[in-house]
Amino acid sequence: MARKKAPKKEYVEGAFIDQPITETLEQNYMPYAMSVIISRAIPEIDGFKPSHRKLLYTMYKMGLLSGSRTKSANVVGQTMKLNPHGDAAIYDTMVRLSRGYDALLLPYVDSKGNFGKVFSRDMAWAASRYTEVKLDPICRELFADIEKDPVDFVPNYDNSMKEPTLLPTTFPNVLVNANQGIAVGMASNICSFNLKEVCDTAIAVIQNGDHHIASTLLAPDFSQGGQLIYDAEALNKIYETGRGSFRLRAKYRFLEKENIIEIYEIPYTTTVEAIIDKVIELSKSGRFREITDIRDETDLSGLRIAIDVKRGTDPDRLMARLFRLTTLEDTFSCNFNILVGSNPRVMGVREILNEWTSFRCDCVRRRIGYDLAHMKERLHLLEGLRVILLDIDKAIAIIKNTEEDSEVVPNLMIGFGIDEVQAEYIAEIKLRTLNRELVLKRLEEAENLQSEIDRLSEILRSEAKLVDVILKELAEIRDRYASPRRTEILYEDVLPAEEPEQVADYAVTAFLTKEGYFKKITAQSLRMASEQRLKEGDEIVSAIPTFNRADLLVFTTAKQVYKAKLHEFDDVKASAMGVFLPGKLEMAEEETPVAIVPTTDYEGWLCFFYENGKAARVPLSAYATKTNRKKLTGAYGDKSPLVAITDGEELVVLTSSSGKRLLVNPAMIPEKQSRDTQGVQVLTLSPRHRLVSVEPYTEGMFENPSRYRSKALPAAGANLSDKDRDRFQLKL
Residues forming the active site:
130
Q: What is the DSSP letter of 41?
A: I
- Under DSSP, is residue 343 helix (H, G, I), strand (E, B) or coil? strand
Q: What is the DSSP letter of 83?
A: -
Q: How many residues does the chain have?
A: 732
Interior angle at CA 576, CA 574 and CA 578, nearest 5: 105
Question: How far, in Å, CA of 398 to CA of 401, rounded?
Answer: 5
Question: How far, in Å, CA of 196 to CA of 489, rounded?
Answer: 16
**Encoded amino acid at 514, one letter:** K
Range 499-504, long-range pairs (CB < 8 A, 24+ positions): 499/317, 501/287, 503/548, 503/549, 503/565, 503/567, 504/548, 504/567
Query: Exposed, middle or buried, 53 (CB in 10 Å: 0-12/13-18/19+)?
Result: buried
Question: How far, in Å, CA of 365 to CA of 382, rounded?
Answer: 25
Question: How far, in Å, CA of 636 to CA of 608, rounded?
Answer: 8
Label the pairing between strands 15-19 and 8-12.
antiparallel
Q: What are the helix (H) ranges across 390-462?
A: 392-401, 408-416, 420-427, 436-461
Residues paired with residue 521 on neighbouring β-strands, in sequence order: 509
Q: Which of 501, 487, 495, 490 is nearest to 315 (CA)?
A: 495
φ, ψ dihedrals at 77, nearest 5°: -65, -45
Task: Judge whether 224 and 368 are in contact, CB under 8 Å.
Answer: no
Taking residue 284's Cβ as centre, other Cβ atoms within 10 Å add up to 10
The DSSP element (H or E) to which 50 belongs, if any, is helix 50-61
Task: Judge whether 45 and 359 are in contact, CB under 8 Å.
Answer: yes
Task: Judge whether 38 and 339 are in contact, CB under 8 Å.
Answer: yes
Taking residue 306's Cβ as centre, other Cβ atoms within 10 Å add up to 16
Q: What is the DSSP string of 539-604?
A: -EEEEEEEETT-EEEEEETTSEEEEEEGGGSPP--TTS--EEHHHHTTPPTT--EEEEEEESS--S
φ, ψ dihedrals at 65, nearest 5°: -75, -20
Rg (C-alpha) for the chain, rounded Å, is: 40
Q: What is the DSSP string of 181-239?
A: EE-SS-EEEE----HHHHHHHHHHHHH-TT--GGGT--S---TT--EEE--HHHHHHHH
Interior angle at CA 119, CA 116 and CA 120, nearest 5: 60
Is-cis flag, bond preceding 714, omega within 30?
yes
Q: Which of 418, 442, 419 is nearest to 429 (CA)?
A: 442
Q: How far is CA 237 from CA 197, 240, 349, in A?
A: 18, 5, 10
The DSSP element (H or E) to which 354 belongs, if any, is helix 349-389
The DSSP element (H or E) to which 146 belongs, if any, is none
Question: How far, in Å, CA of 295 to CA of 555, rounded?
Answer: 37
The DSSP element (H or E) to which 39 belongs, if any, is none
Q: What is the DSSP string of 259-284?
A: TEEEEEE--TT--HHHHHHHHHHHHH
